[in-house]
Amino acid sequence: MVREIGATALAAWLADEARHKPCLLDVREPWEIERAAIAGSVAIPMHLIPMRMNELPDGPVVTICHHGVRSYQIALYLEKAGFDEVYSLAGGVEEWANSVDPTMARY
């Protein structure tokens, strides 16, 4: 079962210097990332994950998309592929903009 993490919980994790930072895996299309992205994210479009998941570092991964649907699917895929600590950002960048960064562009 995929674990989800809320935007404010992820922001707190990223701000916690004592905690190992997750890989922020943005699975949206390039045009979407150009409009709005969480700083430090690694961009790999959803359809390329099977070919490029070997590029992901060891450790926790948080998958990100626009509203949380694609990221949930990719988190499930990564879990089935053997990744141990995978989370999907609940509500995606839309929720991040609502809860964490109101200056983020929306689309």
Mean pLDDT of the chain: 97
Contact 25, 87 (CB under 8 A): no
Is residue 65 among the annotated active site residues? yes
Taking 90 as the threshold, does the pLDDT of residue 22 lie above it? yes
* Position 45 confidence tier, pLDDT thresholds 50, 70, 90: very high
Please give the pLDDT value at position 70.
Answer: 98
Q: Rounded distance, CA 78 to CA 75, Å?
A: 5
pLDDT score for 1: 85
Which residue among the candidates 27, 65, 75, 78 is catalytic per the annotation? 65
Give Cβ neighbours of residue 49 (< 8 Å, ≥ 6 apart).
27, 74, 77, 78
Q: Is a pLDDT exceeding 90 seen at residue 83?
A: yes
Cβ–Cβ < 8 Å for 71, 65: yes
- CATH fold label, 3-100: Oxidized Rhodanese; domain 1 (3.40.250)
Q: How far apart are CA 78 and CA 102, in angstroms?
A: 30
Provide the whole-model pTM: 0.96
